[in-house]
Structure 1
Amino acid sequence: TLVDTMDGAFALVEELRAKGLTLVHPFDDPVVIAAQGTVGLEFAQDAGELTDVLVSIGGGGLIAGVATALRARRPGVRIWGVETDGARAMSAALEAGGPVPVELSSIVSTLSAPSVSPITYEHVSALVTDVLTVTDAEAVRGTLDLADHAKVWAEPAAGCLLPAARRVLERVGEDARLGLVLCGGNATTADVTAWAERFGLR
């Protein structure tokens, strides 16, 4: 069964659970978070002397895992979360002191969780330096920049990291060494072209 929105997807999940099916949750699961933490271990082993790492946030599972593993190996590394303005589930949770439902309007569907979970909120509030938000247009511009300059195809869920990285450098200084977790390739060239035209980026 396919649905058109992320809210609809989570509602469908609840219907299927009520019928007795088992959910492997994409972020509200300690085993999933631990598995995603292997990305943090790879950074610790392979990425040299990083000072800061940026991770996109949807429901928060990826950043919870990365922050836990990376901070365990490199306690001084700062972790930054990045969301889009229309998918601010973690930012809203941090402002409210816990998970709250948010209204979703971002084109970046893979970051559009209707809320974070208690476990991801607790990880982020304890381990993450700050959560930054960027516009959808900035996220699409980042996707284009990754393709044009780094020759990497990524969706806006990763493209949002580039404008956020510039803000991190403004805050911590140009001598910082940044790592970006480039997640996801779930956007087609037609998707990105349409978004670029919509935002006047071409």
Structure 2
Amino acid sequence: MNVHTPETQAARLPITVADVEAAAANIAGAVIRTPCLKSETLSQLTGAQVWLKFENLQFTAAYKERGALNRLLSLTAEERARGVIAASAGNHAQGLAYHARRLGIPATIVMPRFTPIVKVQQTESHDANVVLFGERYDDASAHALELAQKKGLVYVHPFDDPKVMAGQGTVGLEMLEDVPELDTLVVPIGGGGLISGISTLAKARNPDIAVIGVQAELYPSMYAAMKGQSALCDGDTLAEGIAVKTPGRLTQEVVRALVDDIVLVGERDLERAVSLLLGIEKTVVEGAGAAGLAALLAHPRRFKGAKVGLVLCGGNIDTRLLANVLLRDLARAGRLARLRIRLKDRPGQLFEVARIFDQQQVNILEVYHQRVFTNLPAKGLITDVECETRDRDHLERLIEALRAAGYDVRMVEAD
């Protein structure tokens, strides 16, 4: 994708490595220098050498604090007095609101109406004035620009702003200072602010490093822009933090010049990545934060043997959604299952089924009898049994035992 010659292109791109280094000095001590640690288990699982940058450990649980703070620090006294406004699906909102309160700057945040409630509540907890408007980020952004004009507020763009981009680039600066041997950086892309900052820093420090962007298949906006294609961006993605229909104008310039490629990931890979990070690393990430690992899962040959740095860019996920993701992953792995068993309408049938579950050492979680809403004969019935097994092989042994005892049984598959 890129055709970069760093010396000539750096002069005409929106930000330079000096801007990122200046941002690092500006925000030092006000944001957490998060750890960048190797995951031996994920390395074995993916075939790459994997380091994780834990930006979900920031105070607002996302890297967005960096760019927001760098932009706020650039305001004049008159601009600070007027106040700032932003549009955000959540993490930029929280980062801006938190640091605006610290600096005594009034903040208004416009959020899409279906933003996860946890992000709305956390933004309000930083004393920001939250306005819910529109279905997607683009709707909220247009409304925020209108309010900025009407009320004289300073609009702080979540990604298409040189100060914001430079602030986000400090993530890459820290990664390469902590793990200089990294040869590949895999970075989630929504509007492109994070990857613009990181690629500017990374390519200046090491022109041979590979910078790979990741987008959700449902929102391939930057991917399509780089290929000169139009993209249908719609649907409910787990990675709502990078569900941006229109990438930034400035960020497109940087991505076109410095980013080596962009890969797409599906919802199943995003769900599995969220689950693996919690199960293996004991760390909570949102869908966008898991996009880098999802890329390694979806494209293993691409990254095999590479020394890969992944940015866990955020951890703000609704707890109910997280529970659903984890349960669905257990179901796909065969550790949770629902079996539909056809029984004869006679005493002892359910007891005999339960006895087989006991023999196979399978835990029954829930039993549901169905007599009315079925096309079986009047004396027929079906029973759904939700159960917990050790793994897929254990589940298969249970099904074989039930069939050997004469029962008609099938699995009700998870989507």
Per-residue CA distance 1:50-70 (angstroms, 9 max, x = gap): 110100000000000001011
- Is 1:161 equivalent to 2:328 in the alignment? no
Matched residue, 2:196: 64
Match of 2:155, SS state, is: coil
Residue 115 (structure 1) aligned with residue 246 (structure 2): yes
* 8 A contact 1:44–1:74 mirrored in 2: no
Letter in 1 for 2:223: S
Contact 2:190 2:247 in 1 (8 A): yes
Residue 71 (structure 1) shift: 1.3
One-letter code aligned to 1:39: V
The answer as to whether partners of 1:53 and 1:179 remain within 8 angstroms in 2 is: yes
Q: Secondary structure at the match of 1:179?
A: strand
If each structure's helix is expressed as a fraction of its own residues, which one has the higher value? 1
Deviates most, 40-49 or 9-18: 9-18
- CA–CA distance in structure 1, aligned partners of residues 139 and 301 of structure 2: 38
Change (3 A) 1:10 1:34: same
Matches within 5 A, 1:45-194: 45-96=177-228, 103-105=233-235, 106-166=237-297, 169-171=300-302, 174-194=304-324
Give CA deviations for 1:48-106 in whole Å, capped at 9, x if unaligned. 31110100000000000001011111221100000001111101111227xx7753322
In 1, Cα distance between equivalents of 2:238 and 2:141:
17
SS in 1 for 2:214: strand
1:5-44 superposed matches below 5 A:
5-19=136-150, 20-44=152-176
Distance 1:72 1:195 in 2: 39
Q: TM-score, normalised by structure 1?
A: 0.89
SS at match of 2:218: coil
Distance across 1 between alignment mates of 2:255 and 2:198: 10
Q: How many residues align?
A: 199
- Against the structure 1 CA distance between its residues 93 and 107, is the aligned structure 2 distance closer, same or farther, given a 3 Å change threshold? same
Distance change >3 Å, CA 123–CA 102, structure 1 → 2: farther
Cα offset, 1:161, TM superposition: 1.3
What stretches of structure 1 of length at least 5 have no aligned partner?
none
Moved more, 12-21 or 49-58: 12-21
Give unmatched runs, 5+ long, in structure 2: 1-130, 337-415
Q: Distance in 1 between matches of 2:194 and 2:279?
A: 26
In 2, the alpha carbon distance for the partners of 1:127 and 1:46 equals: 22
Amino acid at match of 1:71: K
- Relative to its length, the structure with more strand (as a share) is 2
Give me the TM-score of the superposition, normalised by structure 2.
0.45
Residue 71 of structure 1 contacts residue 77 of structure 1 at CA under 8 Å; is this kept in 2? Answer: yes
Query: Could you give the per-residue CA deviations for residues 129-166 of structure 1, whole angstroms, max 9, x where no partner exists?
Result: 11001112211210111000111111110212113124
Task: Give runs of ≥4 in structure 1 deviating > 3 Å.
Answer: 166-169, 195-202
User: For residues 29 and 101 of structure 1, what CA distance do their matches in structure 2 show?
Assistant: 23
How much is the aligned-residue C-alpha RMSD, in angstroms? 2.1
The residue identity in structure 1 corresponding to 2:315 is G
Letter in 2 for 1:62: L
Task: Give, as a single letter, the amino acid of the residue that structure 2 aligns with 1:184.
Answer: G
Separation (CA, whole Å) in 2 of partners of 1:23 and 1:122 = 21
Q: Which amino acid aligns with 1:187?
A: I
